[in-house]
Amino acid sequence: MSDSPIPFDPADAGWKPMRPEGYPALIGPFWYRREEGGFRYGFPAEPRHLNNGGVVHGGMLMSFADDVLGMTVWEAAGRKPCTTVQLSTQFISPARPGDFVEGRAEILRATRSVVFVRGLVTVGDRTVIHADGIWKILGA
């Protein structure tokens, strides 16, 4: 009998896998689920995501936050292509191997060509990152 915790299975919890394409395919898999008011995204923290200190690398967390905020903007912009103009992150606490890291975002303001957004990356009730940014709607 093992004392190891049972790993979280996103599929069993109602999450759906995102199509692995481009850069997210290299650092994922990422998962999503629809919620009231939008989507929530997540990924299981694996050993390959860790820094030398044994916690999830800040660059991995920033990449995930960029994806979470970007997907939220993409939906709000009618699925038009968008790109990050500015992304600010504040690291609040670490994510550890075996954690299921979740992210969600909200639109603060949208113009015809620019969207302002903020989001949280969490593990359970614990905040890992607070992020805010500006996205440009391409072709607008």
How many whole angstroms separate alpha carbon 57 and alpha carbon 89?
Answer: 13
Domain that holds residue 25: 14-137
Question: How many distinct structural domains can be found in the chain?
Answer: 1
Average pLDDT rounded to a whole number, residues 26-52: 93
* In-domain check, residue 29: yes
* In-domain check, residue 37: yes
- Residue 57: the pLDDT is 98
* In-domain check, residue 32: yes
Q: Is the pLDDT of residue 5 over 80?
A: no
Higher pLDDT, 20 or 53: 53
* In-domain check, residue 6: no
Q: How far is CA 7 from CA 3, 36, 99, 112, 132, in A?
A: 12, 26, 9, 43, 30
pTM over 0.85: yes
* In-domain check, residue 2: no
* In-domain check, residue 105: yes
Average pLDDT rounded to a whole number, residues 67-94: 96
pLDDT in tens, 103-120: 999 999 999 999 999 999
